[in-house]
Structure 1
Amino acid sequence: MRKLLSGILIMLLVICFAPAAALAEDQAQEEQMELSLEDAVKRALGFSNAVEKAWLDIDKADDSRIPLAEGYYSTPGFESVILAGESASFDYDKANKNLGLTRDQVTLNTYDKYFDSLRKQKELEIKELALGYSGKELEAAKALHSVGMLNRIGLDGMETKVLAAQNEYNAAGAELENAFVSFNQMLGFKEDTRPLLITVPEFAPWEKDLQMHISTVLHESPMLWTASEAADFMESIANIGAIDSITEEDAKKAKLDATDARDATRLMVRSLHSAVKKMEDGYAAAEQGVKMAQETLRITELKNELGMATKTEVLEAQLALASAEQGLFDLVCQHEFMKKVLETPWAYSGN
């Protein structure tokens, strides 16, 4: 009897704690997960409510489509049928275009949040180095103060500097936390998940011909398609007189609006292209800054070995190098994101 009770107790313990253990294991796997940008985009698209709703809109529009025989257009009295059929067909095509637009928006947003998390990680590393450097400066200041070579005001100033560095470090940590929370929400991870982001962007100039790319954007933009097709639809309705409130003048205005939208898109693509090229122009200077900081650190370390430079000076050179590298990395991340924006400008909000 005692053995039976023991067996039952063990089974109950297994049943109670197995889900918790499985949950802890899943969370640990998420935290240790290596996540590429490509996989992040796939997961974001699969988890997106906006994408799912776009699919539902397609299904709804598909169910509402009405087949129109060719004879309807030449037979009086079928105007309302033609209107319903063409309207349903337009809604279906528009729903499909909206799905593409939504997917592009989710993809672009994933790029933005992925790179933002990478950049925030780098920024936190810089703030940690700066905190360590200010701590070493404070130690040196205390040593000078103890032998009467630094007054209390100087020591207080150094302590204030350390406090400021600590605050900046804490702020950078909070920004990184917020970046990951936003990123995790998009991908359906728990808020405290910290996947290892393994896609490190590399600098590669934009090399497409601008005029050809503008033509491609004008052809592929779902927003321009919608504006153009809406104008054609209004013109068709005005011609058959199915709706008194839609006149030929309204159709002409819609055509002009579509033309204005195309012109505005041309300007936007040119503006985005200029922004990308400006970043590319700044890359060489940023890269040279890193090389100079590397050389300064090398010389400072050599001087330290010869007793001609202090440990604090070495830390200062290390911090300068890390800052230069962070600036270069930040530029590369922004450049890579803006190239993606240039590929699908219709998905860019500009925020």
Structure 2
Amino acid sequence: MVRRFLTILTFSLILAFGFAGAQAWAAKEPASPEFTLQQAIEQAKAHSETLKSMKYDVDRGYEVRQYVGDKVEFTPLEASNSAADTLFKNLMSADLTWRSAKRSYEAQEDTIVMTTYKTYYGLLQAIENVKVAKIQADSADWQHRVAAATYRVGILNKMGMLQADATLAGSKATLEAANKALEDSYQKFNQLVGLWPEDRPVLVDKPSYNEVKIDNLDYEVAKAMAASPSIWLARQKVDLAQINLNLYSFNNSSEPYIAKQIDLEKTEIAVQDTTEQLGKLVRTLYYTIKQTEEQYATAQETVKTAEEALRVVKVKYDVGMATSAEVHAAEATLAQAEKSFFDLACQHEIYALAFQKPWAYAAS
């Protein structure tokens, strides 16, 4: 009787877990969902628990601000030891908390966009790295075959053969490392947009190269400073510190007046430091963009040269004047040139966005 009961119980559990597993499998994302860059951004925002939590902070801050504001009957014009002063300072603090939460929420959205750019293009680069590593490993294998053949007939010495062995082993190690890096890039992307770990999304967009043109760098720096959430917050803290100083009560037994003065000076220093750091970052990003654009033009010419070299080698191969190993070597050279060109395009796209919103670049 007991054995029969245990058998029925075991069978029921198997059915239950099997049904749950089937449901989970049925609800699973497609194995290879397609993503444009914009779709990845929207999915990353929707999946961000940090952004959801910050939205609650905005809502909570608003409710607190309204609650405190309802209790303030007038704005005190000078310091006193009254409850009105305390209520007004509480209102200013609650108002700053609420507005800061809104700006922080917007800044986090910018950070998610920047992180998605880096992750999206990072995955594209990792995919290209594997492709190039395979071509280079194939070329190394062909070079190794030639080396082995010439070594057997005494044309290549022992040192040359050892070098060929090392080159082949190095190409295989590079391919293995590229595959591991690709797996890591897939995991980062999947985690960002909420996919299953085993999914292999297909990225539709490629980097589009557009030269960054500006009329005045100082103007761009000033524009970035005016839009910066961190500078805005630092300035708001100065205003709040000034209010606390203006409404200081000399009956205060916990802090002297000079302490409030020091608080104000500290917030002013913070504004200056934050402003300087952002200005340096904007200028650095601009010069990096210009350097990348110069490298991009050079890389483009390198690709053209490698394409022509491969074309010539193939023609020679067709008429028996070049070997398969030489063709594979030319293909590997072209693949490497194209990868460098592609990497620069991805980097330029990220730097261009960072130049528009440097605070997001610093936070991502």
Deviations 1:257-293 (A, max 9, x none): 3133223322221111111111112111110000000
> What secondary structure is seen at the aligned counterpart in 2 of 1:200?
coil
TM alignment of 1:263-282, pairs within 5 A: 263-282=276-295
Match for residue 7 of structure 1? none
TM alignment of 1:1-351, pairs within 5 A: 20-21=21-22, 23-24=24-25, 27=28, 29=30, 31-65=31-65, 66-67=68-69, 69=72, 71-74=74-77, 77=82, 78-151=84-157, 154-209=160-215, 210-241=217-248, 244=255, 246-349=259-362
State how far apart, in whole Å, the 2-side matches of 1:60 and 1:133 are: 62
What amino acid does structure 2 have at the position aligned with 1:67? G
TM-aligned CA deviation for residue 72 of structure 1: 3.7
Deviations 1:169-198 (A, max 9, x none): 001100111111112111111122110011
TM-aligned CA deviation for residue 121 of structure 1: 0.9
In structure 1, the gaps of 5 or more residues are 1-11
State how far apart, in whole Å, the 2-side matches of 1:28 and 1:89 are: 43
> What secondary structure is seen at the aligned counterpart in 2 of 1:71?
coil
TM-aligned CA deviation for residue 309 of structure 1: 0.9
State how far apart, in whole Å, the 2-side matches of 1:259 and 1:298 are: 58
State how far apart, in whole Å, the 1-side matches of 2:157 and 2:266 are: 77
Using a 3 Å threshold, how does the CA distance of structure 1 residues 70 and 221 change in structure 2: closer, same or farther? farther
TM-aligned CA deviation for residue 249 of structure 1: 4.3
State how far apart, in whole Å, the 1-side matches of 2:151 and 2:283 are: 60
Matched pairs, number: 340
State how far apart, in whole Å, the 2-side matches of 1:87 and 1:28 are: 45
State how far apart, in whole Å, the 2-side matches of 1:178 and 1:341 are: 24
User: 1:27·1:193 contact (CA, 8 Å) conserved in 2?
Assistant: no
> What secondary structure is seen at the aligned counterpart in 2 of 1:269?
helix
What amino acid does structure 1 have at the position aligned with 2:36? S
TM-aligned CA deviation for residue 148 of structure 1: 4.3
User: 2:119·2:188 contact (CA, 8 Å) conserved in 1?
Assistant: yes
TM-aligned CA deviation for residue 70 of structure 1: 6.0
State how far apart, in whole Å, the 1-side matches of 2:232 and 2:326 are: 61
Deviations 1:285-321 (A, max 9, x none): 1100000001111111111111111111111111111
In structure 2, the gaps of 5 or more residues are 1-12
TM-aligned CA deviation for residue 18 of structure 1: 6.3
State how far apart, in whole Å, the 2-side matches of 1:200 and 1:92 are: 39
User: 1:293·1:317 contact (CA, 8 Å) conserved in 2?
Assistant: yes
State how far apart, in whole Å, the 2-side matches of 1:165 and 1:22 are: 44
> What secondary structure is seen at the aligned counterpart in 1 of 2:362?
coil
What amino acid does structure 2 have at the position aligned with 1:229? Q
Using a 3 Å threshold, how does the CA distance of structure 1 residues 141 and 60 change in structure 2: closer, same or farther? same
TM-aligned CA deviation for residue 207 of structure 1: 1.8
What amino acid does structure 1 have at the position aligned with 2:240? F
TM-score (norm 1): 0.89
What amino acid does structure 1 have at the position aligned with 2:37? L
State how far apart, in whole Å, the 2-side matches of 1:156 and 1:257 are: 60
